Amino acid sequence: MIDCADYRRAMLADPADAGSELRAHRDGCADCARFTVDLVKFEARLARAARLRVEPALGAAAAPAPLRAVRPRLRERSRLALAASVLLGVGVVAALWLAAPKPTLADDVVAHMAEEPQAWRRTDVAVSPESLAAVLRNTHVRLAAGSELVSYANSCLFRGYHVPHFVVQTGRGPVTVMILVHESVAAPVHFDESGYHGIIVPVPGHGAMAVLTRGADDDLAFVERAASRLLASVVWTK
């Protein structure tokens, strides 16, 4: 699934070519929707500027120049006007890009959840120990014996790295965990977005861990308790 940076690069390259994946991201991201509105308005202004004809400013007392001399000057002025419009446009787009809020780590974690909705089902069927070990191996992690039932495990591409994404079944439903060894947070980060409740906790020496629940009934205290249990059950092998 694309993130906000991918979406904006694609739109800046060709605002008229928004495929289904781009539209889906825009529909679910208010910041990128506003960015698109501003970009479309700017493109319309740029198109109008490119169509303008620049007429020569001839004084009343000035003698008209020969026709063959005037036409090259008109063409040159038109080219300069168009070049100025393009340079102005580049500046406006750059300002839009720099001013637009960048997605946070929590934003990207929540956006990733939409890619694997099947992971959230309630079940008492565990993934095989071999499958779970394969997902966790590259991050040098294993789960301690007696940990809660793991019903889903996958190695997911997240911010350019493959990270373990697994789901444990609790008495209040599924809880998703992402081991983020390439990320860091200075302190626990709580978030409540798009129906997901979660926390990202620092793991000194090993990056961070995101823990999420889904549904209106899950409160902050439950998320914090789940994160504490899961963090205690993770064994770092390196």
Q: ∠ CA 62-64-65 to the nearest 5 degrees?
A: 120
Specify whether the CB–CB gap between 102 and 148 falls below 8 A. Answer: no
Q: Specify the higher pLDDT residue, 105 or 238.
A: 105
Tokens read off for 34: 């506003």
- Give mean pLDDT, residues 73-102: 58
Task: Calculate the alpha carbon distances from 234 to 9, 162, 209, 227 in Å.
Answer: 38, 18, 10, 11
- Residues 10, 15, 20, 26, Cα dihedral to 10°: 80
Spatial separation of the C-alpha atoms in residues 146 and 233, rounded to whole Å: 8
Q: What percent of the chain has pLDDT over 70?
A: 73
pLDDT at 98: 47
Q: Delimit the domains of the chain by residue range.
A: 4-99, 105-236
Phi, psi of 80 (to 5 degrees): -65, -40
Spatial separation of the C-alpha atoms in residues 210 and 105, rounded to whole Å: 10
Q: How confident is the model at residue 2 (pLDDT cuts 50, 70, 90)?
A: confident
Q: Specify the higher pLDDT residue, 227 or 44.
A: 227
- Residues 88, 93, 97, 101, Cα dihedral to 10°: 100
Q: Which residues pair with 164 in a beta bridge?
A: 155
Topology (CATH) of 105-236: Protein Transport Mog1p; Chain A (3.40.1000)
- Residues 54, 55, 56, 59, Cα dihedral to 10°: -140
- 130-139 tens-digit pLDDT: 999 999 988 8
Confidence check: pLDDT of 62 > 90? no
What average pLDDT does the chain have? 80
